[in-house]
Amino acid sequence: MSADIRAMSEQLAADPSSLIFLPLAEQLLGRGDLAHASRVARKGAERHAHRADVHDLVARIALAQGDESTAERAWRQSLSIAPEFGAAHRGLGFLCYRQGRWSEAEAHLGTARSATPGDPALEAAWEALHVARAEAEAAPAAPAVAHTPGQIFDEALGDSGQVALLLDRDGLVVAGQYLTAEGEDLGALIGAHLSGVGDEATRAMRHFGLGAWTRIALETEAATVVMAPTDDGVTLVAAPREVPLGLVRRTLEQCATVARQWLGGAA
């Protein structure tokens, strides 16, 4: 451990609310110690959730870890705090470029260029984007960019703090993720517990004479949970209580559509 890092760690331990975590996480990121960098940055983001630069740091570390969905979420969080924050537009532009989301990449990189005109890295990215886009448009129609199973709902969920899971009939996660602030994926736990509710509803419908069930909504102390049958499994969306029920239902519809399309494509 370098003297710098040791000193900063001690300073942070002495004053956990200090902003020293920012250079500390940067140093750890620079040294490739991603696990520690991520931990420091996430802890800092919990304490300083109102700072756009903190979420940018979380995003860059997540990207270095290969976790694109967390990175995107963190950058979007930055933009919800500071809509013109250049670093977040730069990061999202780069991410969208990597994923072949050309229009979004162009919009974010354009905003980033306006924020820091003449930045050589941005100029190079801008040029590369247009070359790649022209090549892609000239090429014969290719299948849509495949998301990893964990990411298929990211666009439908946006920045609303909602999470979505696609579960099979046994309650196992097929797609989506439920990440805590610490980066732990609780999808399997949530899926295992909540999938039984769908089974219970299916049993009930045999006696109700109301046809098949199309949606279940649960309002709990901490969350609103909605689910809809999808193929022989269930699509589930969970949202903090402050998200309006109507919005959660709308998100469920979008996620169920995404899941059906994804299952159709994956089949």
Partner 1 sequence: MSAFASALAAVTRHRGVMACLVVAEEDGIVIDGSAQVGVDTAAFAALTASLYRKASRASGSAGFGQTSFCELEAERGRVLAAGRNGIVLVAVAESRANLGLLRVELLKAAGGL
- The answer to whether residues 227 and 197 touch, using CB atoms and an 8 Å cutoff, is yes
Q: Per rule CB under 8 A, is residue 142 in the interface with partner 1?
A: no
Region from 47-55, 131-139, 144-152, 202-210 binding partner 1, contact rule CB under 8 A: 202-210
CB of 185 to partner 1, least distance (A): 14
Burial call 122-153: b when 16+ CB within 10 Å, e when fewer: beebbeebeeebeeeeeeeeeeeeebeebbbb
Stretch that binds partner 1, among 91-99, 133-141, 222-230, 258-266 (CB under 8 A): 222-230
Find the binder of partner 1 among 82, 213, 243, 253 (CB under 8 A).
213
Kindly list the distances between the CA atom of residue 166 and the CA atoms of 79, 169, 250, in Å, as whole numbers in the listed order: 28, 10, 16
Spacing of C-alpha 150 from chain mean position: 9
Q: How far is the CB of 44 from partner 1 (least distance, A)?
A: 24
- Starting at the edge strand found earlier in the chain, the sheet holding 173-177 runs 173-177, 163-167, 233-240, 223-230
- x/- site string to partner 1, residues 159 to 188, per CB under 8 A? ---------------------------x--
Q: Which stretch in 64-72, 100-108, 142-150, 199-207 sits in contact with partner 1 by CB under 8 A?
A: 199-207
Query: Does 221 sit near partner 1 (CB under 8 A)?
Result: yes
Question: Residues 163, 179: contact at Cβ < 8 Å?
Answer: yes
Copy the structure tokens of residue 108: 């974010």
- Do strands 173-177 and 163-167 pair parallel, antiparallel, or not at all (unpaired)? antiparallel
Token look-up 């990061």 returns 91
Of positions 3, 138, 139, 212, contacts partner 1 by CB under 8 A: 212
Distance CA 41, CA 66 (A): 16
Site map 233..262 versus partner 1, x via CB under 8 A = -----x------------------------
Binding site for partner 1 (CB under 8 A): 186, 189-190, 193-194, 196-197, 200-201, 203-205, 207-223, 225, 238
